[in-house]
Each structure stands twice: as C-alpha cells, then as structure tokens.
Amino acid sequence: MAARSYGQYCGVTSAVELVGERWALLILRDLLVGPRRYTDLKQGLPKIPTNILSARLKELQEGGVVRRVPLARCGLVYELTDYGRAFEPIMLALGRWGFQAMGDPQEGDAVTPDSLTMALRTSFRPDRAIDGDYELHVGDVALRAQVRGDALAVTQLAPPAPPVGGALPSGEAEGVIVAGPGIRRLIGGEISPAEARDQGVVDLRRGDPELLERFARTFRIDRLPSAPVDASTATPTLS
Amino acid sequence: MAARSYGQYCGVTSAVELVGERWALLILRDLLVGPRRYTDLKQGLPKIPTNILSARLKELQEGGVVRRVPLARCGLVYELTDYGRAFEPIMLALGRWGFQAMGDPQEGDAVTPDSLTMALRTSFRPDRAIDGDYELHVGDVALRAQVRGDALAVTQLAPPAPPVGGALPSGEAEGVIVAGPGIRRLIGGEISPAEARDQGVVDLRRGDPELLERFARTFRIDRLPSAPVDASTATPTLS
DNA sequence: CCGGATCCGAATCGATACTG
DNA sequence: CAGTATCGATTCGGATCCGG
C-alpha cells in the first residue's frame, strides 16, 4: 500500500513519498529527540487523530525510516532507523527555515517538550557556542540544556518523564530562564537580551544576568536577507 | 485561509504548514531551477490536477515563498522569493536523502527536465568536482552540465525551451552521455563507470571514455552506513 | 493505562470539462 | 495561456470502542 505516487523518478519525489504525508514530519521530529511510545507521540502531537498516527507509523516502518522495538518488560517504543536518523540535518534546517515564518502563536498553539527540544537544537550554534548549563521553562515545559564546547545536550525535566535511557544531569543548572513564546524574538535576534528582560519576554529566575547573554549568543537563528512577510499581515494575493 | 494548523508553535511546524501540503515541495523543486509559467509547471508535474496547482501557487504566495511576476510582453511567471530560494539547501539535502530510497522506476514514472536538473544538483560534489562539460540524455530529456571549479551550471536543451533568461552555452560539450534510469546506480556508487558501460546502463555516445570517470566522480551520492531497505522487498511490517 | 482498530461526517484530492 | 468548475474518490479528523 505504497503512498500515492507522484509519478516521477527522482530523489526529492522519493523523499516526499516517504515522509511527506500529513503529520509524518512531526512524528519524525519527535522521534529525533529519542525513542517514543505510541502514547508519548500522541501526547506530543495533541491534535493528531489516533488512526493517522497508526497509519503513519506503519508507513514509516515500511519505508525503513522507523522501527518498532518491544521493550524489555512492558510496552514498546518506536525509534528511528539509521536511515531515519540521517534525516536530522534536514529537520534542523527545516526548523530554521520555518522559524523565519513563525508569527506569534495562535490561540491554542502548544509548545511540547519535544518541539522545544528540537527548537533548541535548530537554533544551536556550535561555531559560536559558549559553555553553559541552562534550565529553560516555556509554558509548562522545562528543559535542561547543557553546552560543552560545540556539543549540546538537552534533557527534559519534570512533567514528562526523562527520555528513556537518558540520565538526569546531576547538580543544578547555572540559572533558570523562564520565558513565553516571545523568546522567539530573542532567538531571532529581533531584540537583545537586555530588551528581552525589560519587556518581560524572559525572566531570569535564578543565575547571573550574564547567563542570558550567553544563551542568546549560543542559541540564535539569523534572519534571512529578506525575511518573509508574516502571513497574517501579508497583502492579499490578488491576481 | 491558512493551511490546517497542526496546533503547535514551532519552526518545523511552520515550515510544514508552508510547504508540506501535497505537491507543494515538487512545485518548489521546479521553481528552484528557475522561474516557470503555469503551463511549464503543469508539464513538469504531469500528474498534478490543475486545481491543485492553482491552490498551491496561491498558498505559496500567501506564505511569501513564491511571487507572481507578469512578463514584459505576454503571460507571467512564478518565481521564488528570497525566502523561497533559501529553501534550496534543504531541497538538495532532501533529494540526497530520498535518493537512498529510490528503487527502480515504476511503470509510468517520468523524468522531467527540472527533476533531472535538480538530481544533478543534489549529486554534485563541489569538493571533488573535476572540470568538465557534459551533455546528458535520460529518456527524452537533454541537459548540458558545465563544471568549472566548484561551480555547476545546468542548461536544459532542445525539447523544452531553455530557461527564461538563460543563455545557451556556446560550443559543444566534451561528450554525450546517454543513460537510462539505471544511471542511479552509477551516481549511487553501486557500480563503477566501467561496469555501467559494460552493462549498458550508460552509453558514451561521443567523447573520451575518461569523461565518464570524471562524471562519476563529480556527481555522486554516497550510500549511508545503513541504507534503507527497498520498500518493495521489505519484510511486511508485522506487529 | 497502553496500543491501537473502527466508524462516520467533513475536508481535500484527483480527473475531467470548461472558460476568459 | 492561465486558470475555474464540477463531482466522485480518498483521506483526514474526531470520537468511540476494544483487547491486553
């Protein structure tokens, strides 16, 4: 039951047939954070119908992107194959590209632990990273981001259980950054760390004020030469 | 009339809402080759319903990805905005990733000038490119690929008119390579240039035999450590 | 609770016909 | 050339249900 074919013999087409169906890329996004159970995925994608989740997981398995792994004691998880993991750089680039088009959140938009984890990864700049150990809260999602050299490790805290097989970082982070969705403007470089604090976009709940500067330098998505028009304010596309 | 929302505030989600609908990425692929008229796109995507093409073009414009440009004398073309053009590296990576999963062509699969152009771009290796001037025929598509240093220029020959504004390369290519879909195995490194010739996968219609070696070195997509299983031969996904 | 399967109305897609 | 219009075929979304 292969996906509806586009009728072309081409690499892009193959890729789109593998992961281009509705919801598939978001499932992939979450699986790039780590193996997940069916229920985890459902929670991380609150609006996905369960039959679609089933169908996509089946298709992704048939495509060799995802593997179904029974767990030792109970249950099972879905995890990426090597081929699926090879999609990571594309996903990160996609996240950066899409970041440029993010407006303000719509009513009811969720920020999930996995989406925020990937957002940190997409905005992470190995080339200009400064070592640091941050605790970041957005909504009720809490993350620990540890930067050492050009490496980033993100751990999910509290509400959802820590990732399978992942060890909780010992000790405390250097500081706690509590933010709303406006943190997008900090990461996007629209406002400086100082402005972000003044405008209440972020709140440094604990730690040295300089920590925020480090954060803003380490996690940053530069605007394109010509940024897209925000769809909500775009001039109506008329013939 | 925004695309159906996934209900998440995240860069990947934004990207998918912009270009994740059916056919959108293939339209983008063709527009990355150059500005195209409605009819060009329809020809390059033989199986797209015209109402879908209209709808996607409208949505891509509203998303700031595509622009509609009236032509001087007659007609109009669609072209990418700067933001749309920023998608190019993602498209190339997607093509490389999907290339790994390409099996043999299904009956009725087409190879279009634009898809082959992008295939050449995805497989082009600036780091190991050797200068050359190739004429490549696959099916009834004819391309001229000129490699100078780490730059690649592809021109479409004959059947479809040359790209708008593009000048035809003067003089002749160093040789003519006539291939079938099996050229995938050459680019994928599954077979050597010599094997490709012996097996009739490619036919060097004119030029130095060494030209094929250069071609194979310059256009190459390495297999992943663990390549995906071909979907058609995969073990049925059983619980 | 976990991991789905089933059912059904709503929305989208695909194919073809038609038009300024 | 550049699209609309129409309409049946699919898919999606939302809810419910079910076996372990």
pLDDT in tens, A48-105: 999 999 999 999 999 999 999 999 888 899 999 999 999 999 999 999 999 999 999 9
Q: Given the structure tokens 């751990």, which residue do they identify?
A: A155
SS3 state at B233: helix
User: Is B16 in contact with A5 (Cβ distance < 8 A)?
Assistant: no
Q: Quote the pLDDT of residue B61.
A: 98
The pair of three-digit structure tokens given for residue B13, joined into one six-digit string: 């989600």
- Planar angle of CA A184, A154, A104, nearest 5 degrees: 15
Please give the Cα distance from B140 to B120 (Å, whole number).
16
Q: Quote the pLDDT of residue B9.
A: 97
Where b means 16+ CB within 10 Å and e means fewer, A85-106 reads: bbbeebbbbbbbbbbbbbeebe
Q: Quote the pLDDT of residue A39.
A: 97
Of B7, B17, B99, the CB nearest to A47: B7
The pair of three-digit structure tokens given for residue B121, joined into one six-digit string: 């771009």
Distance in Å, residue A81 CA to nucleotide D18 C1':
31
Tell me the pLDDT band of A146, cut-offs 50, 70 and 90: very high
User: Is A11 in contact with B98 (Cβ distance < 8 A)?
Assistant: yes
For strand D, is any atom closer than 7 Å to the CB of A4? Answer: yes
Q: Which residues contact A160 (CB under 8 A, 6 or more apart)?
A: A40, A43, A113
User: Is B83 in contact with A23 (Cβ distance < 8 A)?
Assistant: no
Q: Quote the pLDDT of residue A18.
A: 98
Q: Given the structure tokens 């409208």, which residue do they identify?
A: B58
Amino acid making up residue A89: P
Q: Which residues contact A56 (CB under 8 A, 6 or more apart)?
A: A21, A23, A24, A27
Is the entire prediction scored with pTM above 0.85? yes
Please give the Cα distance from B115 to B32 (Å, whole number).
10
More confident residue, B218 or A1: B218
Q: Quote the pLDDT of residue B178.
A: 97
Phi, psi of B138 (to 5 degrees): -130, 120
SS3 state at B145: strand
Instruction: Output the CA–CA distances (angstroms, integers) from residue A141 to A95, A111, A181, B138, B189, in the order listed.
Output: 19, 7, 12, 52, 45
Distance in Å, residue B237 CA to nucleotide D19 C1':
21
- Which of B1, B5, B12 has the most A C-beta neighbours within 10 Å, making it the best mutation to test the interface with A? B12
The pair of three-digit structure tokens given for residue B6, joined into one six-digit string: 């996934």
The pair of three-digit structure tokens given for residue B116, joined into one six-digit string: 């082959």
Which positions 123-182 of B are in contact with A (Cβ < 8 Å)?
181
Beta bridge partners of residue A36, listed in sequence order: A78
Q: Quote the pLDDT of residue A229.
A: 61
Q: Quote the pLDDT of residue A231.
A: 53
